[in-house]
Structure formats: C-alpha cells, structure tokens
A and B are shown apart, each in its own frame.
Chain A
Amino acid sequence: MNATGRDLVRRLWVLSSLAVVSTLVLFVSYRGVHGDTVPLASSSAPGILAVDTARSAVQQAHTAVDVDGSGPGPEATGDFHTRISVAHQSIAVAASEDVAGPADRHTLKTITGLITVYSAWVELAGQEEDASLRAAFLHYAERGRDDIVERLDELRDRRLVVAREQASFPWPLWLGWGAVVVLGLALCGALVEAQWFARRRFRTAVQPWLLAATVLWAGWVTVLGWFTLRARRAMTESLAELREVRSADGIPEAGANVERYMADAGFWASLSGWILVGGVVLMVLTVSGLGPRISEYRFRVPR
C-alpha cells in the first residue's frame, strides 16, 4: 500500500473514531436532558398541581362552612361535601403510582385520614346546638385543616425540589453538550477534509457518500440541539408555572400551560434511540465513501 492508501486508511480510522465518540456523547447528553422531560410532564407537574387542587379545595371547604364563624348551615353542606370530594379526588391523583413514590404515598394516605377527621368535626359542629361545643368542634376542625395544609405544603416543597432537579442543567450536561459541539465540528471538519483530499487525489468533483455523511451529521446535531433548547425552555417555563402556589381558579390554567409547553416532550424523548441509528448510518456512509478507494490501493502492485 502506498502513501495515498495509508492516508485513506488513516482518515477512515479518524472518521470512524470521531463518529463513534460523537454518537455516544450526543446520546448521553441528549438523554441527560430529555430523560427528565417526560417525568416532569407526566409525573411531577400533575403531582404538584393535584396537591395544589387538594389544598385549595380544603380551604374552600372551610370557607364554605365558616363564612361568619358560626359554623356550617344547611345551605353550606352541599358545597362543603363537593369541596371535600374534590380534595379526595386530587389526593388520589397525587398518590397514583406513576406520580408518587412510597414516601409521598404514605404522606397522602395520612392526609386522607386527616381530611376524614376534619369532615367529621365539621359535621359535628353543624349538628351541634350548644354554642360552646359548636365553637370547640369548629376549632378542632380548623386545627385539622391547618395540619392538612401544612402537610400538603411540605409535600409540595418536596415535589418542587424534584421538579427543579429535573428542569436543571447541571455542569455534566454543560460538559456533555460542549463536547457534542466540539466533536460535531471536528467530525464535520474531518469529513470536509476527506472530501477535499479525495477530490484532489482522484480528480472527482464530489464524493457523494462523504457529502451525505456531512449533511446528515450537521443536520442531525442541529435538529437535536434545537429540540434540546426547546425542551430546556419548556421545562423552565413549566417550572415557573409550578413554583407559584395558585388558587383554585388558577390551577386549571397552569395545568393547561404546562401541558402546552411540554406537549412534544414524548416525541423529543423518543428521538434518543434514533441517535444510535444515526451513528450507524454515519459509519456506513463514511465506509461507503472511503472503502472502495482503499480497496483499489490494497491490490495495486507498485511498479
């Protein structure tokens, strides 16, 4: 094999190595961001909003029974029960297995029990004719409500910490995406250089396989980078929605906003598997571009 043949083999090695490393780094970096988008959209956000709904429903229930501080009247009973039902349903959502871990479910079961006790005190107050006892029962109910709200707030804080971690972009991700940019540029540069080398040595206008590999990789990295930027923005905006404790009226709007921001999260995340496929295609294109030329030199006998 003469010098041109050795140059071609060296270029194939360099391009293959860069393709493998770039693919792996891109895969890990992409998963690092998009691996958290789906849990944020399908678990953390609904969990936090369900806790907010339960909190708001409990407070509204108490407002319904204690408008003038004298306890629940008959007309308030229906509204009270509706609010308590909302609280129970929201807690069921917050405690569902795909939303809460064992510790949070344990907390939510306790809160369910506290809501039952709270309702019992309110109902006793409603049935009580003696003013002292009615005031006492309402006082116990109030203490129960405070306990419920306090526990829901603690739970919300814990879940917000998780959501913050999911939406964060820590230094390993900066490092990973920095490496993606550097390796991507290096790979594209190496492909262009191989194209230029082949053009000069073999007097061909263009190597179509190498050109396809260059366009594929540059486009692929650009598209995935763009999706990652969109995911980052969507997660930041979702987190801003979740950070604020909202009243009952604001919760559906916040939920709709988060859903809108994160609408493509599943699609973004599903692309991570295609990164490896893209890497294989890149390798095939590179080998297809340089392989035949190398074969020519392998069997050429020097004169």
Chain B
Amino acid sequence: MSRPRARTLVAAGVCLVLLVTVVAVVRLTEGWTGSVTVLANWSGAEREQFERAVRPFEEEHRIDVVYQGSSALSQVLAADLAAGTQPDVAVLPGPGELTAYAAEGRLRPLDGLFEAGDYDGFWVPRVAGRDGRERTYWLPVKTGLKSMVWHGGGLSGDGIGRAAGEPDRWCVGMESGATSGWPGTDWVEDILLQQAGAEVYARWANGDLPWTDPRVRKAWRTWGAMVGAGDRSRVGRLLQDNFARDCPRRNLEHLGSFRDSHWKQSAGDFVHSAEVIPGAREGADHWEVSGDLAALLNPTDEARKLIRFLADPGTRLPDFTAHRKAAAPAGPEDAPRRRIGSVLRGAERRLCWDASDTMPANLRDAFHRAVLRFLVSPGELDSLLRELEALSGDRRPTLPVCGGG
C-alpha cells in the first residue's frame, strides 16, 4: 500500500482550511454579533415604524435590537431598575421620570454620542446628574404636537366653535391600558395653558403653583362643561372607550399629531385648541408637546451605536423628528403634517412639555385617576385637587417646562 504523496496532503489541507473559512464567514454574516434591549411604549403601527427604522442598523452592525413595548412602561422600567435588570435603552414619553432618574444616577450621559446642537435646547436640555453636573441624558426619537383640535375639514371657525360647545360633538375616550385617563389630563393641561398662559402653566407643572389655585380649578371646570362631566350615561361610555377609537367626521377630537393618519382618511384638518377653549387668553399661541426620549441605561457598545444611529438625520424615525437637519414632511396632500412639522421645528419658544410628562410618576398616575373620577363626579373636584396637592408637596428635580423659559 503506497503512502499519499505530499502534494495530495497539501491539497487536502487547503480544502480543509477553505471549508473552515467558508463556514466561519457564513456564520459571521448570518449571525448577530450582539444585541441591544430597548423598552418603549410603542405598539401597533408605531412599533412597526420603529422596527422598520432600525432594520438598517441591524443589518449594518449585525446587532439584534430586542424591542419590548408596553403602556406599562413606567412600572416595567421602575421594577427593572430596582432589580438591576434594566434594558440597555429606554424610550420614555416625556422628561419627568428621566430627570428624576438622571438625578439618581441611573442614566448614562449621552455627551459625545451625538451633536446636541442639532436639536433645539428645549428638546435636549442639560440636566443635573447625581454629582450635580449638567449633562445631556436623552435624545428625542419622536416628537408629538398637542393643543390640537381635529375636525373633518371645511368647517369655518364659527362652525368649529359651535360644535365645541356641544359635549356630544366631542370624541373622548379614556381607556389606554396602564395609562388610562391621560387623554383627560391632556385636556386639563391644555386648557390651563391656553387660559392662564405659559408662565402659570410651567409653575404648576413644576409644583410651584398649588393644584387648588383658582386658575387650575377653572381649567378643570371648563373641561367638565365641554365634555359633559357628570352626565352618567355619556360618561360611563367614554370612560370605557379607547382613546384611539374612530371619530366620525362631523365630530371634533382633542388629540395630538399622532392622529393625523386617522384624520387624513377623511381629509381632516386641525385648529389650535385656543380657538375653541372658552376663556382662552387673547393671542394664546403656546402648544403643548410630547417627546419620546431615548436614554442610555447600560452603556454597552451596542447601545451606544444605537443611540448614534437614532441621532443620525438620515435615519427614518417615526414622525415627527426634532432634528434640524432631517427632512421635513413634504407633499401637497400633507398640509396638516407640514404645519405640525413646522411648529415642532420652528416655534420652539412657544412649546411647552405635556405637564403630566414632567411630573413624578406617582403624581402623574394620581392625575390620571383624578380625571376619571372627575368625569363621574365633578362635584368632588375640590377634594380631588386637595389630594393631588398633598401628593405634589415633595421636592423634585425640575426642568424648563416651556421653550425659552
């Protein structure tokens, strides 16, 4: 039996090395090189939009973005932080909880990961960390305009005003999972903003104006009159209606810019809420806004890369972005979207954060429940406000609530 020749052995060796290389390359190109966990409150279409937006990131970096969305975001995040199992990135709707977490040293600074100057200081303020130093702790991933009243289009100002005076013409739904009640808090906040102005609104949001102040009480009563609080048959229904249920074209709806796709179907439009809120100040032009803000909780390389990707003006994030260099909504058929975009990126000095989004979580949750009770029993308003004031007493980190403030 003859021994194999050296040439044969070399050929076999080369084949083996090639095979191993091919297998390694295939595994490298097909497999993930890491993962990043993201917690937010987006579900349905918003979730799909986000997942679509991060797909190029996953493909480019081979990093798996593990997303979880829930209306119980606050509760999940609080439990995760307490257990030390927090997600890498959390996207919270508003700066209230994030300001508190930053002060507790739970958040990692984002300085150096993106150019904060690409956003107005309103969206990306520098807030104090545990050591008292001010840094950038969040990135606005998605912004939303509020203080809007949607209508079916083609209505005159008088027509909208007349409709606004009839509680049955308002589409109101309070159900929203863990955060049921927030549509009502949006109403009360917006009415206070339009009636009392930005300065009073900001003081109230930061706990410097008592809940029992006559101006706050007036805002609640105004809302109660507009939507028919105390009308038990109507209220029983709207307590259980989902906030995003279909709204007939002839009705009005006080919801934010996220409803543009619904109203677009019926060629709807919006007006500033000051035009329909009774007792709004002359020339009231402030807008309430919300923002989904991404914060870094675990400073892994993957999470840092994701933050950089989300801050890239080329990333197609869900509407609406506050990035100055990103493309603005365009197209003749999208007039409402263009107006929304121009307010969010051109009128920062007239923007105010959704007040409940700046409040501590326990006060915000109590506010949600208080509007539900107020709808059923408007006569209990004074005791509800006293309860909220009692909760508001604690000192808390504050931030500028309104642009330029």
Binding site for B on A (CB under 8 A): 6, 9-10, 13, 102-103, 105-107, 109-110, 112-114, 116-117, 124, 130, 132-133, 135-136, 139-140, 143-144, 147
B70 touches A110 (CB 8 A): yes
- Provide the bound-state CA to CA distance between A117 and B39, in Å: 17
B240 touches A135 (CB 8 A): yes
Binding site for A on B (CB under 8 A): 1, 35, 37, 39, 64, 66, 68, 70-73, 75-76, 79-80, 85, 87, 174-175, 177-178, 180, 232, 235-236, 239-240, 369, 372-373, 376-377
A10 touches B80 (CB 8 A): no
- Provide the bound-state CA to CA distance between A132 and B239, in Å: 8
Which of A9, A107, A110, A136 is B174 in contact with, Cβ under 8 Å? Answer: A136
- Provide the bound-state CA to CA distance between A102 and B36, in Å: 10
B79 touches A143 (CB 8 A): no
B1 touches A147 (CB 8 A): no
Closest to B73 in A: A113
B70 touches A114 (CB 8 A): yes
Q: Jot down 9 A-B pairs with beta carbons below 8 A, ordered by A.
A: A106-B66, A109-B85, A110-B76, A113-B72, A113-B75, A114-B70, A117-B71, A132-B235, A133-B372
B239 / chain A contacts, CB cutoff of 8 Å = 132-133, 135-136, 139
Q: A130-B376, A132-B376, A143-B177 are in contact. Are A109 and B236 (CB under 8 A)?
A: no
Which of B70, B175, B373, B376 is A113 in contact with, Cβ under 8 Å? Answer: B70
Q: A132-B232, A132-B376 are in contact. Are A110 and B1 (CB under 8 A)?
A: no
B236 touches A112 (CB 8 A): no
B1 touches A116 (CB 8 A): no
B72 touches A110 (CB 8 A): yes
Closest to A112 in B: B79
Q: A132-B239, A147-B177 are in contact. Are A116 and B68 (CB under 8 A)?
A: no
- State the Cβ distance, A202 to closest chain B Cβ, in Å: 21
B177 touches A109 (CB 8 A): no
B79 touches A106 (CB 8 A): no
Q: Which of A109, A135, A139, A147 has the most CB of B within 10 A?
A: A109
B232 / chain A contacts, CB cutoff of 8 Å = 132
Q: Which of A9, A13, A114, A135 has the most CB of B within 10 A?
A: A114
- Provide the bound-state CA to CA distance between A43 and B290, in Å: 43
Which of B37, B73, B369, B377 is A102 in contact with, Cβ under 8 Å? Answer: B37
Which of B66, B75, B85, B377 is A130 in contact with, Cβ under 8 Å? Answer: B377
Closest to B67 in A: A106
- Provide the bound-state CA to CA distance between A147 and B75, in Å: 15
B37 / chain A contacts, CB cutoff of 8 Å = 102, 106
A133 / chain B contacts, CB cutoff of 8 Å = 239, 372-373, 376
A144 touches B177 (CB 8 A): yes
- Provide the bound-state CA to CA distance between A144 and B71, in Å: 10
A interface majority secondary structure? helix
A10 / chain B contacts, CB cutoff of 8 Å = 1
B68 touches A106 (CB 8 A): yes
- Provide the bound-state CA to CA distance between A106 and B40, in Å: 12
Q: Which 7 residue pairs are nearest across A and B when measured between Cβ atoms?
A: A113-B76, A136-B239, A117-B178, A113-B75, A113-B72, A132-B236, A117-B72
- State the Cβ distance, A153 to closest chain B Cβ, in Å: 15
Closest to B35 in A: A102
Closest to A9 in B: B1
B71 / chain A contacts, CB cutoff of 8 Å = 117
Given contacts A114-B76, A143-B177, 18 further A-B contacts (CB under 8 A): A10-B1, A102-B37, A103-B35, A109-B76, A109-B80, A114-B72, A114-B178, A117-B71, A132-B236, A132-B239, A135-B236, A135-B239, A136-B174, A136-B175, A136-B180, A140-B180, A144-B72, A144-B178
A102 / chain B contacts, CB cutoff of 8 Å = 35, 37, 66
Q: A6-B1, A107-B68, A130-B376 are in contact. Are A140 and B177 (CB under 8 A)?
A: yes
A124 / chain B contacts, CB cutoff of 8 Å = 369
Q: Which of B1, B68, B235 has the most CB of A within 10 A?
A: B68
- Provide the bound-state CA to CA distance between A231 and B329, in Å: 60
- Provide the bound-state CA to CA distance between A113 and B376, in Å: 28
- State the Cβ distance, B263 to closest chain A Cβ, in Å: 24
B369 / chain A contacts, CB cutoff of 8 Å = 124
- State the Cβ distance, A197 to closest chain B Cβ, in Å: 16
B376 touches A116 (CB 8 A): no
- State the Cβ distance, B190 to closest chain A Cβ, in Å: 23
Closest to B377 in A: A130
B76 / chain A contacts, CB cutoff of 8 Å = 109-110, 112-114
A144 / chain B contacts, CB cutoff of 8 Å = 72, 177-178
A116 touches B72 (CB 8 A): yes
B73 / chain A contacts, CB cutoff of 8 Å = 113
- State the Cβ distance, B88 to closest chain A Cβ, in Å: 10
Which of B79, B180, B240 is A109 in contact with, Cβ under 8 Å? Answer: B79
B372 / chain A contacts, CB cutoff of 8 Å = 133, 136
Q: Which of A130, A133, A144 has the most CB of B within 10 A?
A: A133
- Provide the bound-state CA to CA distance between A10 and B180, in Å: 83
- State the Cβ distance, B213 to closest chain A Cβ, in Å: 26
- Provide the bound-state CA to CA distance between A123 and B356, in Å: 24
- Provide the bound-state CA to CA distance between A211 and B85, in Å: 61
Q: Which of A112, A114, A132, A135 has the most CB of B within 10 A?
A: A132
A139 touches B240 (CB 8 A): yes
Which of B35, B66, B70, B175 is A143 in contact with, Cβ under 8 Å? Answer: B175
B85 / chain A contacts, CB cutoff of 8 Å = 105, 109
